[in-house]
């Protein structure tokens, strides 16, 4: 693991997610750009001191020198955005598979370059857009793809948070500080941190692509350097349209990611606050409540569930699904086999490039006087 | 009553709403522009045949000739949009108070002219934006006005319907036919029929005014003549912003009007599907569930409730609240008294003018290449 | 109307319910056993002073003397329980149809005598068990009767209230005072006031009858004279079983009446807090959300609805359904016709007798050391 | 681990729960009473073959011979009920800490004997009543204990399942087969499998003890050998009362464990289907929504949470909380320290004895003609 030392939120989440299905063992780390802190974190995590490194460069170099049977196979990179590209590139080029936190890079240019690296390296790459790991999100995608709703016409996605309602970055809150700092986050705040999640969710579930955007991007809290609120009108492929909202100043909101898709014959709705339920709505018959763990679900939902219906699975299990599916692909790769389609269903480099394109397009649109901008990659 | 003959939906709703609190008696009507149909409807409604008229002109003329003690006092006008202005003007100018269905007129120009008529006539005027009649919507407005949420920053309103997902106007559906006919509805479809409702709800609850708009207006169903779907970015007074969505092609949706308002310290949420609940959310303490009928509510919510907590009141009672409050103002007018503030809390000519301005602005924005248009009245 | 003077809760509810569908006109009343108060209430209600009476006896006597075309047709009796039997009997015997508030009488003996009176009088009789007036409760009954759930095995009903959590009857609260006074209420408090409602709901929806009971009946609040809490195990016809709970000391609860029925193949659930929804659950497919106003509902649900799906109807409309259906039967009676089955679907004398039997059986069981008592009528 | 070989449901759950917080490593197992199956399961789980044993006796004997630094420290026992007592006793007596699945033993007599063994062994013992591991259940217990609701008066618990609505044990379903077999499960079916869970939940959250019971225990499905449905009236210490229902024939239900507690001033409600929410209700102010992860929660809830509010934690995390807290106590034991109060908050031998007493008392009551039986241990 690169990054994720003591005090980091998402690093701990990655480690739990990796452990849940017993497909990974944490064997080495460069947990901080501060060598002392990295060592200290390694001790807490019970690692062999010899495999706690002072930098990601050292990690990659030293691990590569280890015999193949001992060497780390998959490197998780959970640093702030500005330290995504370089370690990922180095890891891939040195033969390691990579799991990387989102958004993928600091800029779209980096993203496109990384895409080339992934392709030339032949290594596997996973980007942790957690929400697509939920079984009922996978069911939603399958349901839309089945055509039962007819042609998709309208998609709404939203990600309301309230935790940045105050000038939190001035209080020493580490999570707030780097996310609102253009040097660490890039050109976008809320749009990069959570907008990319719902952008990805929209394209994943609907099977459509954003083609044009018109964005209202705001900095609501005085003194903040990056956007903390935005709403975006979307034109989608297939003549559909959509609305994406993402905000960090909806005081009192937690993380209630939500998607609604409407086709000619019906619609569907999923939200994180009731993550094990997928509502299917129909023009002329009762709405249906589809539930995690049920026997009538697709193989994709079933593959990503561990417990019977009614025993809720949550965010950590959704995260674990990404790790587990990625592991199954790594295993297949080692064995020279083709993974199952269900295993291949995790976000990768393509989603990462489009996510970075979203950031650049949405910020450009926010600044533009022109109504519609083509979504360009 | 003018309009609202057999087969009309909203006419029957108006009559129930007027009856609930025993403040009105239906005494006369011109229920259809077809004299035979009007008579027939009058018979069904048990009216004295002498007071069922062949046209609104006749109604106003003949009723005016009756002694004051017999004459109708309040005329409800529930015709399609293109027959709003003329009968309302005639009624007001002849000394009758008017309750009018929304949207107020066929055009903004008519609306502004009507405003002058209302002012010069000295008669009372109510526009039936039903959703502001719900007790918890009134509570929401009072709560925002109290300042407890701090300055308002963001408002989301939505009105998703699915009943026009198909080309219903081709099937002889009367409700669909006039609503999608530019000659009867005006320049807008969904934006006029339901967009005005949530526009009004937004301004009513937030206490803010829309200042700029950027709209994506669509005709989704092939062959339809007016918009059936739209999403609008909004700039609001007080440096706030908002998003308004209204659609009639969200297959499987009923009428789940919803509003969310976020201020510096918290937010609130109300939706018609759980109409007796107002959620109040806070940055740093538990969310609260405020309920119709509870003793802790403001005088505005209490005034608009008939039953104890837990016995749900619904759409008809919300509608009845408009009629009841209007009646209290008519009574006060008769007695030469000042009505209670709670009685005065019903939508009127000002809301009607702004609603028509919304329609013209939003359709203009939908056609414009320019991103933000000033909201002009 | 007999009873229901100023300050009474349920009298006003009856009047609204009767008005909603324009089938009734209030023409006379004996609103209080105090002649002055009765007159005063009559003035407030706008009645002709000559038809506001000093007693129910006077009302019945004088109205009977009026020409048939002027005379009241249906008498609503909304007094406390101890003044149910005598006016109802007198009214029926003098040729008036009666709508009576629940529970039907002061004792089972009275109930059985009243049954004879109803039968011999040939007049129509309605008992206002409001909850069976909800369209989705009617749908629930039809659904069970259709056999789609298979044989019913288990039924749960509950009625939790919190308003008697304190010794409210000592504070001058009129509603609390008579309900907790054995002289006015009879032998039961909560079991009579709300237990009878859910008993009726259980038998109505399930189509089964209670055959044995085992009750835990409690007086929780110090000083109270009648039960304010109870839980009852039930054996039902058809080898099913059930649980009924009714309490007035569930602090913080409103009036969330709820029923769940389980058969061999699935179950259903309805609760007043979401009154326009009926959940249908299946062993092996997604649960379904059935909604008031939808086109797929039975004629019984459709008959009892006024607005399109998504515009909530509530408690007053449920109450109005009883009045409306009863009026349709009165009209059919006048015309010598057979009412529609949907019109006949209102609670009557049989439900009233069983309700009173419930009260006597449940109180007896509460006092008994024996586990199961046969439910006797 | 003893039990939990391939095909077992709960064994896999235990392993995930143990892994989540990185406090355990699976080092040995006797996964089946069939030596071959045990070996095969060990291979799948990646264990060293030398530590996969043919029986629990062998496991305990061989592990004890290993040097302390290599030897297993905590043994998880996840066998059917009839194989709980013997391995647990043997493990404790040989110096191992034990985590045991519920219900604790085959009979109350065994339970009491095991209590003595735990006490004399000085080893730690955890019984996996999962539902008390949920953070909001812990908050509920703390909230009641704080006295804010006043004296507790009424408690309702329910556990509705539908998965045994058919004669599933005849279809080869392994989970159904042992649970309905008196030789493996003991004298109770549903009451042992899920009734004990809600019995434990009731006593845990309310802080009260059951003192008398009156049970209706049924075998609903033809051919079944043990109860699949029951409802129980309860008298509780402190003059409170309660109702417990547990059923496996509520067709269409999943595992929606629910508890409601009412005191003099308010009530609380928690249910597994919305596990991250605790509703607090008040007599005279708005209900509150308390949420997992929030800063206002008690140290007990905070201690048992891993993610920020709005990222749902579920059943596996609740289960993991038991394992984690137990591990913290084992660590404290090793270090000779006193564990934190939050770490000590896991179910143990006392809860196990009372759970077995519940089973014996409830089955006795089900067969008794006497209404109330004293709850005896």
Q: Is residue D339 part of a domain?
A: no
Chains touching chain D, criterion 3+ CB pairs below 8 Å: A, B, C
Distance CA(A237)–CA(B137), nearest Å, equals 38
Here the CATH number for the domain that contains residue B86 is 3.40.50.720
Mean pLDDT of chain C: 97
A14 and A50 part of one domain: yes
Where is the domain boundary, D70, D104, D123?
D123
Q: CB distance from D306 to chain A under 8 Å?
A: yes
Q: Give the three-state DSSP class for B242.
A: strand
Q: In the predicted model, is pLDDT for residue D8 greater than 80?
A: no
HSE value, Cβ hemisphere, 13 Å, CA-based, for C130: 21
Give the mean model confidence (pLDDT) for residues B165-185: 93
Q: Which residue of C has its CA nearest to A288?
A: C288
Whole-number pLDDT of residue A174: 86
Q: Is residue A160 part of a domain?
A: yes
Mean pLDDT of chain B: 97
Q: Mind telling me how many Å the CA of B254 is from chain C's nearest CA?
A: 5
Q: Assess whether the previous peptide bond of D103 is cis (omega < 30° from 0).
A: yes
Give the mean model confidence (pLDDT) for residues C110-131: 98
Q: Give the three-state DSSP class for A247.
A: strand
Of A135, A156, A182, give the one whose Cα is nearest residue A296: A135
Here the CATH number for the domain that contains residue C180 is 3.30.360.10
C chain contacts of residue A294, beta-carbon cutoff 8 Å:
286
A139 and A119 part of one domain: no
B116 to B78, B128, D147: CA distances (angstroms): 21, 19, 62
B168 and B210 part of one domain: yes
- The set of residues, in sequence order, having a beta carbon less than 8 Å from that of A120 and lying 6+ positions away, is none
Q: Which residue of D has its CA nearest to C221?
A: D264
Chains touching chain C, criterion 3+ CB pairs below 8 Å: A, B, D
C186 and C43 part of one domain: no
D316/A313 touch (CB, cutoff 8 Å), yes or no: yes
Whole-number pLDDT of residue A306: 95
D29-60 pLDDT tens trace: 999 989 999 999 999 999 999 999 999 999 99
Distance CA(A328)–CA(B226), nearest Å, equals 51
Complex ipTM: 0.96
A250/B154 touch (CB, cutoff 8 Å), yes or no: yes
C chain contacts of residue A287, beta-carbon cutoff 8 Å:
288-289, 291
A114 and A153 part of one domain: no
Q: CB distance from C245 to chain D under 8 Å?
A: yes
CB A191 within 8 A of CB A350: no
A273/D310 touch (CB, cutoff 8 Å), yes or no: yes
Give the mean model confidence (pLDDT) for residues D152-165: 98
A289 and A144 part of one domain: yes
D chain contacts of residue A293, beta-carbon cutoff 8 Å:
254
Of the partner residues A247, A283, A370, the one whose CB lies closest to the CB of residue B162: A283
Q: In the predicted model, is pLDDT for residue C78 greater than 90?
A: yes
Whole-number pLDDT of residue C376: 98
Q: Is residue D333 part of a domain?
A: no
B30-62 pLDDT tens trace: 999 899 999 999 999 999 999 999 999 999 999
Give the mean model confidence (pLDDT) for residues C191-199: 98
Q: Mind telling me how many Å the CA of A342 is from chain B's nearest CA?
A: 29
pLDDT band at B9 (very low <50, low <70, confident <90, very high): confident
Of the partner residues D13, D272, D313, the one whose CB lies closest to the CB of residue A316: D313
Q: Is residue C314 part of a domain?
A: no
D316/A307 touch (CB, cutoff 8 Å), yes or no: yes
C272/B312 touch (CB, cutoff 8 Å), yes or no: yes
Q: CB distance from D171 to chain C under 8 Å?
A: no
Distance CA(C255)–CA(C248), nearest Å, equals 9
C106 and C192 part of one domain: no
Q: In the predicted model, is pLDDT for residue B249 greater than 80?
A: yes
- The set of residues, in sequence order, having a beta carbon less than 8 Å from that of A69 and lying 6+ positions away, is none
Q: Is residue B156 part of a domain?
A: yes
D289/B291 touch (CB, cutoff 8 Å), yes or no: no
**A246-267: burial string, b at 16+ Cβ within 10 Å, e else:** bbbbbbbbbbebbbbbbbbbbb
C32 and C115 part of one domain: yes
A256/D19 touch (CB, cutoff 8 Å), yes or no: no
Q: Is residue C319 part of a domain?
A: no
Helices (H) and strands (E) in chain A, counts: 14, 12
3-state secondary structure A9-55: HHHHHHHHHHHHCCCCCCCCEECCCCHHHHHHHHHHCCCCHHHECCC
D162-215 pLDDT tens trace: 999 999 999 988 889 999 999 999 999 999 999 999 999 999 999 999 999 999
B286/D295 touch (CB, cutoff 8 Å), yes or no: no
Distance CA(A260)–CA(A264), nearest Å, equals 14
Question: Which domain covers residue D173, as residue numbers?
Answer: 132-313+347-367
Q: Which residue of A has its CA nearest to B154?
A: A250
Q: Mind telling me how many Å the CA of A277 is from chain C's nearest CA?
A: 10
D251/C149 touch (CB, cutoff 8 Å), yes or no: yes
Distance CA(C155)–CA(C206), nearest Å, equals 8
Q: CB distance from C252 to chain A under 8 Å?
A: no
B259-302 pLDDT tens trace: 999 999 999 999 999 999 999 999 999 999 999 999 999 999 99
Where is the domain boundary, A94, A123, A152?
A123
Distance CA(A254)–CA(A162), nearest Å, equals 6
A chain contacts of residue C286, beta-carbon cutoff 8 Å:
280, 288-291, 294, 296
- The DSSP secondary structure of C93-157, one letter per residue, reads HTT-EEEEPSS--SSHHHHHHHHHHHHHH---EEE--GGGGSHHHHHHHHHHHTTTT-SEEEEEE
pLDDT band at D9 (very low <50, low <70, confident <90, very high): confident
A253/D310 touch (CB, cutoff 8 Å), yes or no: yes
Of the partner residues B149, B150, B369, the one whose CB lies closest to the CB of residue A371: B369
% of chain B at pLDDT higher than 90: 97
Whole-number pLDDT of residue D369: 96
Q: Mind telling me how many Å the CA of A13 is from chain B's nearest CA?
A: 24
C288/A289 touch (CB, cutoff 8 Å), yes or no: yes
% of chain A at pLDDT higher than 90: 97
C40 and C87 part of one domain: yes
Q: In the predicted model, is pLDDT for residue B8 greater than 80?
A: no
Give the mean model confidence (pLDDT) for residues A117-125: 98
B305 and B168 part of one domain: yes
pLDDT band at D26 (very low <50, low <70, confident <90, very high): very high
A108 and A173 part of one domain: no
Q: Which of C4, C251, C315, C331 to mutate to test the interface with B (most CBs of B within 10 A)?
A: C315
Q: Which of D286, D291, D298 to mutate to test the interface with B (most CBs of B within 10 A)?
A: D286
pLDDT band at B28 (very low <50, low <70, confident <90, very high): very high
Where is the domain boundary, A123, A151, A178?
A123
D133-142 pLDDT tens trace: 999 999 999 9
Q: Give the three-state DSSP class for B62.
A: helix
C247-294 pLDDT tens trace: 999 999 999 999 999 999 999 999 999 999 999 999 999 999 999 999
Here the tokens at position B265 are 């310290």
Q: Is residue D360 part of a domain?
A: yes
Q: Is residue A50 part of a domain?
A: yes
pLDDT band at A7 (very low <50, low <70, confident <90, very high): confident
Give chain A's domain count.
Answer: 2
Whole-number pLDDT of residue A218: 98
Give the mean model confidence (pLDDT) for residues C91-119: 97
Of B322, B329, B320, B324, give the one whose Cα is nearest residue B97: B329
D252 and D233 part of one domain: yes
Q: In the predicted model, is pLDDT for residue D83 greater than 80?
A: yes
Q: CB distance from D21 to chain A under 8 Å?
A: yes
Whole-number pLDDT of residue B77: 97
CB D320 within 8 A of CB D133: yes
Q: Assess whether the previous peptide bond of C136 is cis (omega < 30° from 0).
A: no
Chains touching chain A, criterion 3+ CB pairs below 8 Å: B, C, D
C chain contacts of residue A291, beta-carbon cutoff 8 Å:
286-287
C286/A289 touch (CB, cutoff 8 Å), yes or no: yes
A chain contacts of residue B259, beta-carbon cutoff 8 Å:
none
A chain contacts of residue D160, beta-carbon cutoff 8 Å:
none
B282/A253 touch (CB, cutoff 8 Å), yes or no: no
- The set of residues, in sequence order, having a beta carbon less than 8 Å from that of D318 and lying 6+ positions away, is D130, D131, D133, D134, D135, D137, D275, D304
Cα maximum dimension of chain C: 65
Q: CB distance from C289 to chain A under 8 Å?
A: yes
Walk across the sheet containing B74-77 and list its strands.
B74-77, B97-100, B125-127
């Amino acid at each position: 693991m690169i990054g994720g030392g003591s005090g980091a939120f998402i690093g701990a989440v990655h480690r739990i997610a990796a452990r849940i299905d017993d497909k990974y063992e944490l064997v080495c780390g460069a947990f901080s750009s501060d060598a002392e802190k990295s060592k200290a974190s390694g001790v807490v995590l019970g690692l062999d001191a010899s495999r706690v490194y002072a930098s990601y460069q050292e990690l990659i170099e030293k691990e590569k020198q280890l015999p193949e049977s001992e060497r780390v196979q998959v490197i998780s990179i959970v640093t702030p955005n500005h330290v995504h590209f370089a370690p990922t590139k180095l890891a891939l080029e040195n033969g390691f598979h990579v799991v990387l936190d989102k958004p993928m890079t600091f800029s779209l240019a980096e993203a496109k370059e990384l895409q080339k690296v992934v392709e030339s390296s032949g290594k596997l790459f996973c980007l942790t857009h957690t929400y697509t790991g939920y079984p009922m999100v996978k069911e939603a995608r399958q349901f839309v793809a089945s055509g039962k709703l007819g042609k998709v016409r309208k998609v709404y996605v939203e990600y309301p948070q309230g935790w940045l309602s105050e000038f939190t970055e001035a209080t020493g809150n580490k999570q707030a500080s780097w996310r609102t700092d253009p040097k660490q986050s890039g050109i976008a705040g809320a749009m990069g941190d959570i907008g990319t999640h719902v952008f990805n969710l929209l394209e994943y579930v609907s099977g459509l692509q954003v083609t044009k955007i018109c964005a209202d991007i705001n900095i609501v809290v005085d003194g903040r350097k990056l956007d903390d609120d935005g709403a975006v009108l979307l034109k989608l492929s297939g003549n559909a349209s959509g609305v994406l909202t993402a905000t960090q100043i909806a005081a009192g909101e937690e993380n209630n990611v939500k998607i609604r898709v409407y086709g000619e014959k019906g619609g569907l709705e999923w939200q994180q606050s009731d993550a094990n339920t997928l509502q299917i709505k129909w023009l002329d018959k009762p709405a249906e409540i589809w539930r995690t763990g049920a026997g009538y679900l697709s193989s994709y939902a079933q593959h990503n569930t561990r417990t019977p219906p009614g025993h809720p699975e949550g965010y950590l299990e959704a995260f674990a699904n990404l790790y587990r599916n990625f592991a199954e692909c790594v295993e297949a790769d080692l064995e020279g086999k083709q993974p199952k389609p269900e295993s291949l269903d995790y976000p990768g480099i393509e989603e990462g490039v489009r996510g970075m394109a979203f950031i650049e397009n949405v910020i450009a649109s926010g600044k533009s006087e022109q109504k519609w901008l083509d979504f360009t990659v």
